[in-house]
Structure 1
Amino acid sequence: SVGLELSVNNHAADFTLSAELGPAISLSCLVHNSSQAEELLWYRGDGQVGLTDGNKVNISNICISPVSESDNGVTFTCKLARDKSVQVSVILDVQFPPQLSGEETLHVEEDKDATLTCNCKSNPQAQSSWLKDNHSLTLQQSRHELYQTSEVFQLSIRKVQKSDNGTYTCVVESHLGNGTRDFHLIVEDKKPVFPKEAVIAAVVVVTITLLFGIVARKDKFFKVW
């Protein structure tokens, strides 16, 4: 394999290929400086791609269709079968507008903490912000906390009050498009420390236990006598 080289779409070294959602992408791998038939292999990540017999020798083409979000960041590699160190890789950079998801309604007891989680996928990463009841949310340093990764935008509220009731909107903006998702925060009354139902249940259990105890003693009493 001395002197043998590969190219993918005319690139002899690893490269990144930008793509959009939908339209197919073709990758063409070509052997250079070969004096014989050379078998080629394709990999998607660590998994080998199945090739037809007429698409393995000296030139090999694969097609990604349709291109989806799951292809973003994936590496496709063409390798020489008899010397896998001879290879060229291409990383797909699939660009797509924001796609949002997350639990829409949250019931939280007063004085407990609440976290609204807006799952957001986009490439490139988008600008994110929160609205409350269609107005910009005024963040209070002592009560509000924002957390953001490439796929999550969170708003945490410490010790929620009745005034925190409302509709919170996760707004995500990129040059490819914008996305919004509403989250309804419902602040419920604080539960009493000892709920009535629990107290009643405990009284019933104790009463039944005492009754069974008395009956058991009667049985013993009659057996003795």
Structure 2
Amino acid sequence: GLELSVNDHAADFTLPTEPGPAISLSCLVHNSSRAEELLWYRGDGRVGLKDGNRVNISNICISPVNESDNGVTFTCKLARDKSVQVSVTLDVQFPPQLSGEETLHVEEEKDVTLTCNSKSNPQAQSTWHKDNHSLTLQQSRHELYQTSEVFQLSIRKVQKSDNGTYTCVVQSSLGKGTRDFHLIVEDKKPVFPKEAVIAAAVVVIITILFGIVARKDTFFKVW
């Protein structure tokens, strides 16, 4: 019976590619003796086709391919029977994209979180280094969090010994990226006890009141 093919595939398929070069997709009608109109979709959105590029054979070009095209599905459908279709899903492969540095100032005994945001395909794994050595994780003080795009290191109650440069290394089979965090632990700021502040305020108020009363006393004595 009537069927379609995309780039010689008669069934849905995944197309590995990389950012940059253009990709051409060619949809062809098979086993039909009449002119068949074809439709192209990107996800749920219909792709505009010029006249002369929609009957029995239809070509589209994705240019340039970029990271955001990863996982996007293009589908060729028969206009008069949309159940006749072939889909191709782009598998855009690229290494982790991560670089740069930043400096963080943190008060002693406060918590801090270092965050790397990096996309990659295939998914990357992260490791953390301190001053160019593998970071020794302390269960009570260090916590790691990771998703497909976010890599975090949290340090609880930072100490002076936590001073240094932390490096987030994100690596996949296609390459790696790094980002440096210069952590500067500052002296803990003195905190005034609330009771002492209240007591001082009370003393000031009483002193002012006594001053007012004393002035009134003097005023009456003069008269």
Q: CA RMSD in A?
A: 4.7
> C-alpha distance in 2, partners of 1:77/1:115?
43
Q: Deviations over 1:96-136 (max 9, x none)?
A: 11102688232322222211111111111223211111111
CA contact (8 A) 2:100 2:178 kept: no
Q: 1:223 to 1:130 in 2, by over 3 A?
A: farther
Q: 1:205 to 1:47 in 2, by over 3 A?
A: farther
- CA-CA distance at 1:79 after TM superposition: 1.1
TM-score normalised by length of structure 2: 0.83
Determine helix, strand or coil for the equivalent of 1:99. coil
> C-alpha distance in 1, partners of 2:52/2:2?
21
- CA-CA distance at 1:77 after TM superposition: 0.9
Q: 1:222 to 1:64 in 2, by over 3 A?
A: farther
Q: Deviations over 1:70-103 (max 9, x none)?
A: 1111111111112211111111111111102688
4+ residue segments displaced more than 6 Å: 195-225
Q: Which structure's CA Rg is the greater one? A: 2
TM-score normalised by length of structure 1: 0.82
- CA-CA distance at 1:196 after TM superposition: 12
Q: 1:201 to 1:58 in 2, by over 3 A?
A: farther
- CA-CA distance at 1:192 after TM superposition: 3.1
Q: Deviations over 1:21-48 (max 9, x none)?
A: 2111111111112222111111111211
- CA-CA distance at 1:16 after TM superposition: 0.5
Q: Deviations over 1:148-201 (max 9, x none)?
A: 111111111111111112111111223322211111222233233349999799
Q: Which runs of 5+ in 1 are unaligned?
A: none
CA contact (8 A) 2:75 2:85 kept: yes
Match of 1:81 among 72, 76, 79: 79
Q: 1:202 to 1:170 in 2, by over 3 A?
A: farther
In structure 2, the residue matched to 1:144 is: 142
> C-alpha distance in 2, partners of 1:69/1:185?
32
In structure 2, the residue matched to 1:11 is: 9
CA contact (8 A) 2:14 2:89 kept: yes
CA contact (8 A) 2:24 2:59 kept: yes
> C-alpha distance in 2, partners of 1:8/1:224?
109
| Structure with greater strand percent | 1
> C-alpha distance in 2, partners of 1:224/1:37?
118
> C-alpha distance in 1, partners of 2:89/2:218?
83
Q: Which moved more, 1:182-191 or 1:40-49?
A: 182-191
Q: Which moved more, 1:166-175 or 1:19-28?
A: 166-175
CA contact (8 A) 1:15 1:91 kept: yes
Q: 1:221 to 1:18 in 2, by over 3 A?
A: farther
> C-alpha distance in 2, partners of 1:56/1:108?
62
Q: Percent identity?
A: 90
Q: Which moved more, 1:82-91 or 1:185-194?
A: 185-194
Q: Which runs of 5+ in 2 are unaligned?
A: none
Q: 1:49 to 1:211 in 2, by over 3 A?
A: farther
In structure 2, the residue matched to 1:121 is: 119
Q: 1:150 to 1:201 in 2, by over 3 A?
A: farther
